[in-house]
Amino acid sequence: MKQIRPYKVLLFLVLVLSLLMIPSAFIPKDGIDWMGVRWKFLPWERIWVAKKQEKKNIEKIVGAVDTTNINQAIKHTGQSSGQAGAPDGGNMATESGNPLYLSKSAEERLAKFFAALQSAATGQKISIFHYGDSQIEGDRMTGYIRQRIQQQFGGIGPGFIPAYNVYPTMSYKQTVSSNFKRLTAFWPPKLTSKKYGALLSAATFTITDPNSATPTEAWIEITPSNAAYARARTYTQVKCYYNSCVAPCAVKVYENDKLIHEDSLIADGAAHVLPLSFEKTPGKLRYVFSSTQSPVFSGFSLEGDVGVQVNNVAMRGSSGHDLSSSEAALFAQMHRQADTKLFILQFGGNSVHTFKDSSGVRSYVGALKNRIGYIQKLVPDAAIILIGPSDMSRLNEGIFETYPLLPYTVDCMRKMCGDTGAAFWNLYAAMGGYNSMPSWVEQGLAGKDYIHFSPRGASIASEYFYEAFGAAYSDWLSKKGGQ
């Protein structure tokens, strides 16, 4: 074989690089469209000077919060006296570097919620629902916020959980029989009836032989998780929510394989709750259903007797549009039953990367405004806090940088909240703002996708939210004279 001389290889490389420099010099930086393809070349200045990765210094941000030891001081001893979940109390923040943005209307709505929160600390029971995208999946962020709020104002248990959960979560364990299927408002397959309820997801089981009179069995198993925050691993009440039961459906409930309850679901097609109460946290619970036609199971609730139930509703891939995709009557009914006083909405991350111009941002924020109005119409007594998207990075010319329209999205969200009476919390700013995500990734506080927090990063972000929450509460207290 004839060998190619080194100088010829060098000449070839020089020729190729010279040819590539021509389009770099004359083609616009953002590229040109040709033959249906967007052509982009390395800009002329980047040939000689490589673009450097920008990083925010987040040492003060990370070092200013303490997320340790939040499991201490739980008072519940395992025997329910009707007051399981009493608060521990403590001091709340009086100021925040990234406070809640409150219009006058939002401040008035939040004041009503804070009054209800005070009542929960003295023996009442209310709910907070945290709806969000995959940033809160697996109880990430919600679990930490729940522990903080329940320590201060009372409450135990993870609250509402899906009838069929498919995401790994630290707050409980769940398995289901193979004939159960999950249906959601935000991802196929879906329910034609839209009777999802407050969790925007449901489960039904497949009948073995629809033409047979022999009932089909299916089961759901729920177990406390030792990995949960302290208050979430303890609960004394378990409720099963169901609807669309039109055929006889027997149910047997086992605790650690021992039968403890036999019943029949109400077969009138309406929405109902099957409640069970325990003296202490139950072990492994198995619900065995038997019917010739499956009801729709819209979730379970694992809770205490008093305090605040903080419920995680993670909607992978959602931008918040699906908040209005459940039948309105059932959605409102479940929130009345739970006495929901606050909605925390956390969306935007699934849309930021799709925006091509500012009109796309305004269209999205306008749609989100409509969903907030929808919630306010169905649950008028509840306050709403919207958490904006975190910093997110795209790979551009070999470096990670904030999506161009993310800051504008955050600003539009804040202004929209001012119009609707919702409060707004700027997670993007709390992280450090523009190009802060690479530093969070470098310190193990976010994943290599440059989007999602790691468990520790979620705790830090959640502590900053709770600080803003506490500062708003303290301000309310001072204005009402500490009463």
The per-residue pLDDT for range 406-442, each reduced to its tens digit, is 999 999 999 999 999 999 999 999 999 999 999 999 9
- pLDDT reported for residue 80: 46
Is residue 78 scored above 70 in pLDDT? no
- pLDDT reported for residue 62: 81
| Domain locations along the chain | 6-48, 59-479
Give the CA count within 13 Å in the CB-facing half-sphere of 60.
5
Residue carrying the six token digits 């709750």: 273
pLDDT tens per residue, range 330-339 = 999 999 999 9
Distance (Å, whole) CA 377 – CA 110: 16
Distance (Å, whole) CA 107 – CA 103: 6
Report yes or no on whether pTM surpasses 0.85.
yes
pLDDT tens per residue, range 267-324 = 999 999 999 999 999 999 999 999 999 999 999 999 999 999 999 999 999 999 999 9
Burial of residue 39 (number of CB atoms within 10 Å: 0-12, 13-18, 19+):
exposed
Mean pLDDT computed over every residue of the chain: 91
Task: Kindly give, in sequence order, each residue whose CB lies less than 8 Å from that of residue 246, ignoring residues fewer than 6 positions away.
Answer: 267, 268, 269, 293, 295
- pLDDT reported for residue 79: 40
Average pLDDT over residues 192-221: 97
Which of 13-22, 382-391, 458-467 is the least confident region?
13-22
- pLDDT reported for residue 294: 98
- pLDDT reported for residue 26: 65
pLDDT tens per residue, range 56-77 = 788 888 887 777 766 654 333 3
- pLDDT reported for residue 90: 77
> What percentage of the chain exceeds 70 in pLDDT?
89
Q: What's the CATH class of domain 59-479? A: alpha beta
